[in-house]
Structure 1
Amino acid sequence: MRISSFRRAGLGLFFLSATLVSGMSMSADRVTGPEFVTRSEVMATHGMAATSHPLATQVALDILKAGGSAVDAAIAANAMLGLVEPTGCGIGGDLFAIVWDAESKQLRGLNASGRSPRGLELQWFLDNGYESIPKLGPLPVSVPGTVDGWFELHERFGRLPMQKVLAPAIRYAWEGVPVPEVIAYYWEKNAEQRQQYPGFAEVFMPGGRVPAKGEVFRNPALANTYARIADEGRDVFYRGEMARTMADYLQANGGFLAYEDFAAHRSEWVDPVSTNYRGYDVWQLPPNTQGIAALQMLNILEAWDIAAMGFDSPDYLHLLVEAKKLAFEDRARFYADPAFSDIPTGALISKDYAERRRALIDVEKAAEAFPHGDPAVLGQGDTIYLTVADDDGNMVSLIQSNYRGMGSGMTPPGLGFGLQNRGEMFTLEPGHPNVYAPAKRPFHTIIPAFVTRDGKPWLSFGVMGGGMQPQGHVQVLVNLIDFGMNLQAAGDAPRVRHDGSSEPTGERMTDGGVVRLEKGFPAAAIEELQRRGHRVEVANDGGYGGYQAIRRDGEVWVGASESRKDGHAAGY
Structure 2
Amino acid sequence: MIDNFSDAQVVRKAVVASEGGVVASQHKKAARVGAAVLAAGGDAVDAAVATSFALGVVEPWMSGAAAGGCMVLWRAAEQKAEVVNFGMRSPRELDPADYPLTPDGRSSDLFPWRCVVDDRNVQGATAVAVPGVVSGMGLAHARHGRKSWRELVAPAVRLAQEGLLVDWYSGLVTASTAQPLSLDPDAAAMFLEDGRWPILGAWTASTERHLDQRALARTLQQIADEGPRAFYEGGVARALVRDVRAKGGCLSEADLAAYQAEWVEPLAVPYRGGQVYAAPGLTGGPTFAQALQMLEGELGDHAGAPDARAYRAMARVLDAAFRKRLSSMGDQESPKAPGCTTHFSVVDREGNLCAVTQTLLSIFGSRVVSPSTGLLLNNGVMWFDPEPGKPNSLAPDKRCLANYCPVIGVAGDGRRFALGASGGRKILGAVLQLSSFLMAHGMTLEQAFHQPRIDVSGGGQVTADRLLPREILQALAEEMPTSTARRNVFPYAFACPAGVLREGARNMGCTEIMSPWGDAVSEVAA
TM-score, normalised to structure 2, is 0.85
Alignment partner of 2:130 out of 139, 143, 150: 143
Distance 1:292 1:127 in 2: 31
Counterpart residue number, 2:174: 187
Say if 1:457 and 1:266 are closer, same or farther in 2 by CA, change over 3 A: farther
Distance 1:108 1:180 in 2: 38
Counterpart residue number, 1:50: 24
Distance 1:447 1:533 in 2: 25
Counterpart residue number, 2:393: 435
Are 1:445 and 2:395 an aligned pair?
Answer: no
Counterpart residue number, 1:199: 186
Counterpart residue number, 1:549: 499
Counterpart residue number, 1:353: none
Alignment partner of 1:169 out of 145, 156, 160: 156
Percent identity for Structure 1 against Structure 2: 29
TM-superposed CA distance for 1:211, in Å, is 3.2
Q: Unpaired runs of 5+ in structure 2?
A: 1-5, 104-112, 203-207, 332-338
Alignment partner of 1:570 out of 513, 521, 526: 521
Distance 1:202 1:539 in 2: 35
Q: Unpaired runs of 5+ in structure 1?
A: 1-24, 29-35, 338-380, 502-508
Find the residue that maps to 2:125 and give its secondary structure: coil
Distance 1:551 1:127 in 2: 47
Aligned residue pair count: 487
> What residue identity is the alignment partner of 2:20?
H
Do the aligned residues in 1 keep the contact of 2:418 with 2:500 (CA within 8 Å)?
yes
Do the aligned residues in 2 keep the contact of 1:179 with 1:216 (CA within 8 Å)?
yes
Find the residue that maps to 2:372 and give its secondary structure: coil
Counterpart residue number, 1:516: 463
Distance 2:412 2:140 in 1: 26
> What residue identity is the alignment partner of 2:322?
F
Per-residue Cα deviation, 1:472-500 (whole angstroms, up to 9, x for no partner): 0111122222333210221122221125x
Do the aligned residues in 2 keep the contact of 1:388 with 1:550 (CA within 8 Å)?
yes
Alignment partner of 1:108 out of 78, 82, 86: 82
Per-residue Cα deviation, 1:157-196 (whole angstroms, up to 9, x for no partner): 1111122111212112212343455444223213333221
Counterpart residue number, 2:231: 237
Alignment partner of 2:455 out of 492, 497, 501: 497
Counterpart residue number, 1:391: 349
Alignment partner of 1:228 out of 222, 231, 237: 222
> What residue identity is the alignment partner of 1:568?
D
Distance 1:305 1:127 in 2: 45
Say if 1:127 and 1:482 are closer, same or farther in 2 by CA, change over 3 A: closer
> What residue identity is the alignment partner of 1:110?
V
Do the aligned residues in 1 keep the contact of 2:267 with 2:285 (CA within 8 Å)?
no
Do the aligned residues in 1 keep the contact of 2:139 with 2:261 (CA within 8 Å)?
yes
Say if 1:482 and 1:439 are closer, same or farther in 2 by CA, change over 3 A: same
Are 1:287 and 2:281 an aligned pair?
Answer: yes
Find the residue that maps to 2:89 and give its secondary structure: coil
Counterpart residue number, 1:414: 372
Counterpart residue number, 1:73: 47
Per-residue Cα deviation, 1:2-46 (whole angstroms, up to 9, x for no partner): xxxxxxxxxxxxxxxxxxxxxxx9968xxxxxxx77243221112
1:142-541 equivalences under 5 Å are 142-179=129-166, 181-205=168-192, 208=195, 209-212=197-200, 215-218=208-211, 219-305=213-299, 313-335=307-329, 382-453=340-411, 458-499=416-457, 501=458, 509=459, 512=460, 514-540=461-487, 541=491
Distance 2:393 2:434 in 1: 32
TM-superposed CA distance for 1:230, in Å, is 0.3
Per-residue Cα deviation, 1:353-376 (whole angstroms, up to 9, x for no partner): xxxxxxxxxxxxxxxxxxxxxxxx
> What residue identity is the alignment partner of 2:215?
A
TM-superposed CA distance for 1:567, in Å, is 1.1
Distance 2:37 2:29 in 1: 12
Counterpart residue number, 1:357: none
Say if 1:106 and 1:38 are closer, same or farther in 2 by CA, change over 3 A: same
Moved more, 126-135 or 40-49: 126-135
Say if 1:471 and 1:266 are closer, same or farther in 2 by CA, change over 3 A: same
Find the residue that maps to 1:569 and give its secondary structure: strand
Find the residue that maps to 2:221 and give its secondary structure: helix
Moved more, 252-261 or 308-317: 308-317
Looking at secondary structure, tell me which structure has more strand per residue.
Answer: 2
Distance 2:291 2:473 in 1: 22
Say if 1:455 and 1:101 are closer, same or farther in 2 by CA, change over 3 A: farther
Per-residue Cα deviation, 1:257-277 (whole angstroms, up to 9, x for no partner): 122111111111101102111
Distance 2:167 2:438 in 1: 30
Say if 1:556 and 1:126 are closer, same or farther in 2 by CA, change over 3 A: same
TM-superposed CA distance for 1:413, in Å, is 1.0
Do the aligned residues in 2 keep the contact of 1:309 with 1:315 (CA within 8 Å)?
no
> What residue identity is the alignment partner of 2:192?
M
Distance 1:66 1:37 in 2: 33
Find the residue that maps to 1:139 and give its secondary structure: helix
> What residue identity is the alignment partner of 1:294?
F
Do the aligned residues in 2 keep the contact of 1:529 with 1:536 (CA within 8 Å)?
no
> What residue identity is the alignment partner of 1:482?
A
Say if 1:266 and 1:245 are closer, same or farther in 2 by CA, change over 3 A: same
Distance 1:26 1:323 in 2: 31
Q: Which runs of 4+ in 1 moved over 6 A?
A: 25-28, 127-130, 454-457
Do the aligned residues in 2 keep the contact of 1:307 with 1:483 (CA within 8 Å)?
no
TM-superposed CA distance for 1:416, in Å, is 1.8
Moved more, 43-52 or 453-462: 453-462
> What residue identity is the alignment partner of 1:570?
V
Find the residue that maps to 2:349 and give its secondary structure: coil
Query: Over aligned residue pairs, what C-alpha RMSD do you find?
Result: 2.7
> What residue identity is the alignment partner of 1:480?
L
> What residue identity is the alignment partner of 2:372?
G
